[in-house]
Amino acid sequence: MKNYFKYRKPKTKRSKRFLESRAPKLIEDVKTAMIMKGGNTSQTVTQALKDIVSSNITRPFEDSTSLEFFSKKTDSSLFLFGSHNKKRDHMPNDVCVTVSFVLFAGRLFDFHVLDMIELGIEKYVSLSDVKASKCPEGTKPMLVFAGEAFDTDNEHKRLKSLLLDFFRGPTVSAVRLAGLEHVLHFTALDGKIYMRSYRSLLKKSGCRTPRIELEEIGPSCDLVLRRTHLASDDLYKLAHRQPKALKAKKKKNISHDAFGTKFGRVHMQKQDLSKLRTRKMKGLRKRKGNVVAEEQDGQAPKVAKEAEHTE
């Protein structure tokens, strides 16, 4: 599959630019996400997908089409796939059918699936259900993860990383203070993950930093972590490898010790240690009367001069 795309050589400038935009780069662009719905998605799931991305792009596809092929076509590395499946629980007495809405969230590395997590949607409140003024689309949201699980459980840690990838938006060097409106809060609690979306109001607080008040907007869902397909540690490490060019240049001859003190190395030419002038000890200086002192005398003004220079 990879080779099919590589064999083509660009014949026009436009196609060349297109291929260059898809080629691996030093500093990568913002990750784009494919939002897909499976064969039998319900209203809720579709609504959920739309709200999360606040766009109308849903690509229905048959199961036969490979996810990876699609990601190559659209050059996206994140995906969100919604469906609902009916589980038949064969209890001894009766057959009960549980219908659950399911969301598959995942990301790809080099067009192969890196991580994929199945999340069951237990409760869902859509954008339209919540009556409140919304944040303008495209604001970079503030993300908060609460709960021990996000720090201790491996799967939760991956989920946190995945959610961060999904929601963080483009990396910017500066942010308008008044534009920090959107807050996404994820709480891992009681085996569930509660996602809530708020609009933050910056109120006067008497000092420079404002006081925060939150107003619930946007979709909220209660998710349950189900099956996961996580990348092996090796693949995960490989995916994190940064090109050498991006590594911060280390300044030579500067080191820090445990306390944070900065040490530097200064390279000097070879010095004749016998001719070194150390601190002047007035008491050790010979008196002017002596013969030896005459030599010293000659040297004394020199010493004084040098001392002046060094001090």
Partner 1 sequence: MAACSVEALLAKAEQEEAEKLKSISVQKELDLEFDIGNLLACDKNRIDLREFREQKKEDFLRSLARDNTQLLINEIWKQPTERVQEAIVVKLPDPATPLPREKPPPKAKPPTKWEQFAKLKGIQKKKKTNLVWDETRVAKNEYNRLKNIARAQKGKVPVMGLATSTQQSKEELSLAVSVAKTSTASAGRFQDRLPKEKAPKNMGKKRKFEPLIGDFSNERHKQLELLKLMDGKKPKLDITKAVNKQMREEDREEAAAKYKKRAGKKGRKGGNMSGKGKGKGGKGGKGKGGKAGGGGGGGGGKRRGKPGKH
CA distances from 306 to 46, 90, 181, 269, 296 (A): 84, 98, 65, 19, 14
CB-count exposure of residue 257 (10 Å: 0-12, 13-18, 19+): exposed
- In one-letter notation, the amino acid at residue 267 is H
In order, the DSSP letters of 75-93 are T--EEEEEEEEEEEEE-SS
Q: Considering only residues 59, 134, 140, 280, which one is a binding residue for partner 1 as defined by CB under 8 A?
A: 140
The nearest distance, CB 4 to partner 1, in angstroms, is 16
Asked if residue 106 lies in contact with residue 115, where contact means CB atoms within 8 angstroms, the answer is: yes
The nearest distance, CB 100 to partner 1, in angstroms, is 20
The nearest distance, CB 182 to partner 1, in angstroms, is 9
Q: Is 82 in the site for partner 1 (CB under 8 A)?
A: no
Q: Is 77 in the site for partner 1 (CB under 8 A)?
A: yes
- In one-letter notation, the amino acid at residue 122 is E
Interatomic CA distance for residues 251 and 249, integer angstroms: 6
Q: Is 309 in the site for partner 1 (CB under 8 A)?
A: no
Q: Is 147 in the site for partner 1 (CB under 8 A)?
A: yes
Q: Is 194 in the site for partner 1 (CB under 8 A)?
A: yes
Q: Is 213 in the site for partner 1 (CB under 8 A)?
A: yes
Applying CB under 8 A, the span of 92-100, 129-137, 210-218, 293-301 interacting with partner 1 comes to: 210-218
Nearer of residues 26 and 91 to partner 1, judged by Cβ: 26
Question: How many other CB atoms sit within 10 Å of the CB of residue 38?
Answer: 17
Nearer of residues 26 and 97 to partner 1, judged by Cβ: 26
